[in-house]
Structure 1
Amino acid sequence: MREIFTGLPWWVKWIAVPVIALVVFGGLIGSIVGFLAYLLFKLLIFVALVGGLIYVVRKFMSNSSSKSDW
């Protein structure tokens, strides 16, 4: 692979080739990043809902047990 880029200027290796790769694979990269962001958002919603449910159940259980002591 190095022999392909041997005689070329630095800007071809470090600017032109990555820009061409982004143009060709940009849609795929964008789709993957969007899907990962979607999964992360759904995971955060799941964690928040489960945490809220656990908090409410523990709060309800502690209140009901303290009232039954009377």
Structure 2
Amino acid sequence: MIVEPVPQPVYAFDQVGSFAARPAGLALTGVVAEAVGEQRWLLVVATVMAVSAVAAAALPSVRRLERHQPV
């Protein structure tokens, strides 16, 4: 299977979003944890991570991925 390269503007937008979201998330998570309680916030974060992992694994295109040996 030959994978088409991702267009540069799409990749650049993804990178900018990731670079901006990480520090914002790190800055806000302490505030939110203090507001709702650390245990509750950890449960929310763990649930979001688990649901996103299961959702990704449930996609047929992800389940059909094959590992190709390097040439």
Pairwise same-fold verdict (TM > 0.5): no
Q: Per residue, is there more helix in 1 or in 2?
A: 1
Please report the TM-score for the alignment, with normalisation by the length of structure 2.
0.35
Please report the TM-score for the alignment, with normalisation by the length of structure 1.
0.35
Q: Find the structure with the greater CA-based Rg.
A: 1
